[in-house]
Amino acid sequence: MKNALQHIRAFITVAQRGNFARAADDLHLSPSALTVQIRQLETWLGVALLERSPRHVTLTGAGREALPAMEKLLLDLSNIVSASQGLAAVRRGVVTVAALPSLCAGALAERLAVFRQLHPGVEVRLRDLVAERIVERVREGDVDFGVGVRSQFGHGLDFTPLLRDRLCLFVPAGHPLATGPVSLQALKGLPMILTGRDSSVRAQIEQVFRAHGLVLQAAMEANYMSTVLALVRNGLGVTLLPESADDGEGRLVRRQLDEAGLERELGVITRSECSLSPAALRLVECLKAMRL
């Protein structure tokens, strides 16, 4: 039935006001137009809903039974419209993001603080994961999008570049490599503190060493970059980590290396055939200003 909700609203208003003229005035209709709507609704339902008299209107038995369900219907519809408008205006919502731990601890956290100021009603749920797990979470639809490393994703995923990150050498203050010329060759034979074998950083380091004909001497490994930095800080070795991993706590010196293969591209990973929610789109726009 066309305009069913409009007719239901007309019936509820008449039932509440107990008078066609007052109800018609509330609805900005003529009494005759309101009468037509009520009759069409009754015809559609196959029952009489109202008992009419010259001075007032009362509900029939069918009308009394139908009224609560119709009121709930309009309330539910109003809630749906209000929630949808809130989502569209980015006044509310939930965005789940999987991102590299090095970004979560630095540049990404700073952009999330900006996003919270702009959209305080949107909840952001952050999952700090290694690169491979980020791709899995995005592909499985467990997160709205990921922030990770460009790689060969295969069919079904898209990558939008955000920034470039470069592997740097981290050594304790006072280490021989803390000053003066430095290169990958200078790392030959030095004990290296490495991230876990499922880390994209570990894979990149191994690839760079192979490309330059160097033997990687692993002294220790840890899952988290913050742990790796703590081990280096305590003199257990040196490490190559993304510049985004720098925790700024001091007692470490970060050195830039000029060799090829040390740079990586970071960006947003999304499912190709799924559109992002308004809140997720706004968050992606906010992340585009991210700087290391």
Provide the residue-wise pLDDT of the chain in tens; the chain has 292 residues.
456 778 888 888 888 888 888 888 888 888 888 888 888 888 888 888 888 776 678 888 887 888 888 888 777 776 666 565 554 545 668 899 999 887 887 788 889 999 988 888 888 999 998 888 999 999 999 999 999 988 877 788 999 999 888 899 999 988 999 999 899 999 988 999 999 888 888 889 999 999 999 888 889 999 888 889 999 999 999 999 988 777 777 789 999 998 888 998 999 999 988 888 888 988 998 998 887 6
pLDDT of residue 92: 67
pLDDT score, position 232: 93
98 and 52 assigned to the same domain: no
- Are residues 261 and 236 part of one domain? yes
Whole-number pLDDT of residue 240? 95
pLDDT of amino acid 84: 59
Report the number of distinct structural domains present in the chain.
2
Secondary structure of 191-238 in HEC code, one letter for each residue: CEEEECCCCHHHHHHHHHHHHCCCCCCEEEEECCHHHHHHHHHCCCCE
The CA distances from residue 185 to 214, 215, 228, in Å, are: 8, 10, 21
Domain C-terminal end among 34, 68, 88: 88
Cα–Cα distance between 253 and 173 in angstroms, integer? 6
First CA to last CA distance, the chain: 59
Question: Which residues lie closer than 8 Å to 22 by C-beta, 6 or more apart?
Answer: none
pLDDT of residue 137: 93
- Which two three-digit tokens encode residue 150? 């460009």
Please check whether residues 107 and 154 belong to one and the same domain: yes
Tell me, yes or no, whether 140 and 236 share the same domain: yes
| pLDDT for the residue numbered 89 | 46
Residue 143 lies in domain: 92-292
Say if residue 124 is in the same domain as residue 25. Answer: no
H/E segment holding residue 253: strand 252-255
Sign of dihedral through CA atoms 259, 261, 264, 265?
A: positive
C-alpha span between 34 and 40 (Å, rounded): 10
**Non-local CB neighbours of 24 within 8 Å, separated by 6+ positions:** 30, 31, 33, 34
Q: From 56, 88, 120, give the residue that closes a domain.
A: 88
Residue 126: predicted pLDDT: 93
Per residue in 248-275, is it b (16+ CB within 10 Å) or e — as a string? eeeebbebebeeebbebebbbbbbeeee
What are the two backbone dihedrals, phi and then psi, of residue 62, each rounded to the nearest 5 degrees? -65, -35
For residue 248, the domain's CATH number is 3.40.190.290
Do 184 and 97 share a structural domain? yes
Do 254 and 166 meet the contact criterion of CB atoms below 8 Å apart?
no
pTM (2 decimals)? 0.63
CA distance 24 to 32: 9
As a whole number of angstroms, the distance between CA 135 and CA 267 comes to 12
Backbone φ, ψ for residue 280 (5° rounding): -65, -40
The verdict on 64 and 173 lying in the same domain is no
Residue 198 tokens read as 């499922």
107 in the same domain as 80: no
* CATH number reported for the structural domain that contains residue 53 in this entry: 1.10.10.10
Same domain, 260 and 158: yes
Domain check: are 53 and 125 in the same one? no
Say if residues 122 and 74 touch (Cβ distance below 8 Å).
no
CA angle, residues 63, 67, 69, in degrees to nearest 5: 130
Q: For residues 130 and 199, is the Cβ–Cβ distance under 8 A?
A: yes
Q: Note whether 125 and 106 are same-domain residues.
A: yes
Same domain as 273, residue 191: yes
